[in-house]
Amino acid sequence: MNRILSSLVLLSGWLLVNAQAGSQSAPANPQLVPYTSQALLFAKQVDELDPNNVHDLYKVFVVLRCRDVPVEQRKALAMRILTGDYPSKPGFEWRASDQRYGLFVAALVALSYMHMDDASLLSFLEEYLPKWKRIRQSGSGEELPADLRRLQERVSPDVALARAVMARLKAVQAVPEVKSAADLARRFEVMLKEAGSSRAELVKQYEEFLEAERQAGIAAWATKSPFPLYLVQEYGRMLFHYAKRGMDVRAAVTGDDALAKAWHSFIRLGETAREPALLVEQLLSSKGRDTVLAQLLVDEGVRVVPLIVQRLEVAKEDPTKLSETGMGVSTLLEVLVSLLGKEALDLIEAWQGSDKEWLCRYAHRAKEWGQQGYVFGFYPSL
């Protein structure tokens, strides 16, 4: 199953059911320890990676999103992916269609985040969207120009996602500065105009897509355009961005329809992400594997490692801090492996003898992956 498409399905489900609860903040200043970022190492090795291999693909995801890697370096990599210039290893050929599509989506989402207040990406998207449409629409027997044939071999574009990102960037162009929730609401109105839709129409299309997905699962993506979902998510990412920066954005969402519920989830997540300590606390109490919170921690880079280590030490001494499954701990161990690699192995060993079956099992897996140099792919389409 397409891993990225699966994560997009999960994200649309998260928008429906998410009800993040507040939690108490952990101490804000744990002792700082100089940890080495794996993301920086992967960034240096990125041209040697083979994203046909899912473990190498996950490493590229880390490079695209982790703030340890300079933003201009991440932008450049994302652009190379979208134009088919990456992977560039001599003799490289895509063998895994899932990975090719997943890499495109992850790159475009990462690039969208890196252009929350910068419409300069528009000219690139306006140039490439017609090309992506053409290669998507071309039949198996159609003869394409040489440049488009190469592009078709190198990328598997998501045209609907590109259109949604363009609509948001048009809104940034029209409302370049955000000082309040009212400015965000104005941006949304521009997005609707660019989409040729009203809010009522978007609600209807969004609900129809979610219902089709509920009925048919991942197969719904082949029969219905995900554009309404993507448009909702793009506005949600913008709300998340400003909420995380400390702005009160709740007034940017009105009503009580499906769109409002989705956007309130993004806002709550942004408010939580202001303090990585809150992300860690929520994970510790999680009964399942929360890949959303894990992705946000990986995005923050090694600066969150001392905090995670501190909270794990406290939880080891006081098991009441954990859920009955202990799955939050195992997810934090996976975050440590993804950020630190083998440097995380000693931190994992303390949990391998846990009396919580699932925690013990996943701790062993985290150690095995760390020993093999693997990382975890959490939610690159978030």
Mean pLDDT of the chain: 92
Instruction: Measure the CA–CA gap between 59 and 62, rounded to whole angstroms.
Output: 5
Distance of CA 248 to the CA centre of its chain: 23
Q: 321 falls in which pLDDT band (50, 70, 90)? A: confident
Residue 144 placed within a domain: yes
Q: What is the pLDDT, as a whole number, of residue 95?
A: 96
CA–CA separation, 11 and 16 (whole Å): 9
112 with 153, same domain: the answer is yes
For residues 195-222, average pLDDT: 96
Q: Of 9-18, 56-65, 220-229, which has the strongest mean pLDDT?
A: 56-65
State the helix-helix crossing angle for 305-317 and 276-284, rounded to 10 degrees. 30
Distances (CA, A) of 243 to 26, 187, 237, 281, 282: 20, 15, 10, 19, 18
Place 324 in a pLDDT band, splitting at 50, 70 and 90: confident
Provide the pLDDT for residue 27.
40
Number of domains into which the chain is organized:
3
Separation between Cα atoms, residue 133 and residue 67, nearest integer Å: 32
Distance CA 160, CA 322 (A): 41
Token pair, residue 95, equals 């063998």
**Residue 8 falls within a domain, yes or no?**
no
* Whole-number pLDDT of residue 353: 86
Establish if 2 belongs to a structural domain: no
H helices of 114-257, in order, are: 121-137, 146-154, 159-174, 181-195, 199-216, 227-244
User: Quick one: the chain helix, strand, coil %, rounded to 5?
Assistant: 70, 0, 30
Residue 334 domain-assigned (yes or no): yes
Q: What is the dihedral of CA 23, 24, 28, 32, to 10 degrees?
A: -70
Whole-number percent of the chain with pLDDT over 70: 91
pLDDT band at 142 (very low <50, low <70, confident <90, very high): confident
Is residue 256 predicted with pLDDT exceeding 50? yes
Residue 244's CB is within 10 A of a number of other CB atoms, namely 19
182 confidence band (pLDDT: 50, 70, 90): very high
pLDDT at position 355 is 85
Q: 319 and 212 share a domain?
A: no
Q: What gap in Å lies between CA 272 and CA 22, rounded to an integer?
A: 8
Average pLDDT over residues 235-242: 99
Higher pLDDT: 166 or 29? It is 166
> What is the length of the chain?
382
CB 321 within 8 A of CB 284: yes
- Same-domain pairing of 195 and 209: yes
Same structural domain, 164 and 257:
yes
Give CA separation, 336 vs 62, 107, 304, in Å.
Answer: 13, 23, 9
**pLDDT tens per residue across span 290-315:** 999 999 999 999 999 999 999 999 99
Residues 213 and 287 in one domain: no
pLDDT beyond 70 at 113: yes
The residue written with tokens 């919170």 in the block is: 293
Q: How confident is the model at residue 44 (pLDDT cuts 50, 70, 90)?
A: very high
Whole-structure pTM value: 0.91
Instruction: Say which residue the tokens 């990456």 belong to.
Output: 86
Percentage of residues of the chain with pLDDT beyond 90:
82
- Where does the pLDDT of residue 320 fall: very low under 50, low under 70, confident under 90, or very high at 90 and above? confident
Name the band, by pLDDT with cuts 50, 70 and 90, for residue 29.
very low
Answer yes or no: do 32 and 71 share one domain. Answer: no
User: Domain range holding 212?
Assistant: 159-274
Contact 23, 286 (CB under 8 A): no
DSSP string, 250-294: GGG--SSSHHHHHHHHHHHHHHHHTSHHHHHHHHHT-SS--HHHH
Q: Are residues 336 and 283 in the same domain?
A: yes
Are residues 115 and 193 located together in one domain of the fold? no
Domain end position, chosen among 139, 157, 175 = 157
* Amino acid type, 357: E
Contacts of 201 (CB under 8 A, 6+ apart): none
Answer yes or no: is 150 within a domain: yes
Of 12, 59, 16, 81, nearest to 264 by C-alpha is: 16
Residue 269 shares a structural domain with residue 279: no
Task: Specify if 121 maps to a domain.
Answer: yes
Residues 163 and 270 in one domain: yes
Residues 281 and 211 in one domain: no
Residue 4 lies in a domain: no
Lowest mean pLDDT among 13-27, 153-167, 298-312: 13-27
Q: Give CA–CA dist 138/153, Å, rounded.
A: 13
**Residues 157 and 129: beta-carbon distance below 8 Å:** no
pLDDT score recorded for residue 356: 86
Whole-angstrom Cα distance, residue 164 to residue 243? 21
Rounded to whole angstroms, the Cα distance separating 239 from 254 reads: 13
* Last-in-domain residue among 256, 274, 292: 274
Pick from 213, 241, 274: which residue ends a domain? 274
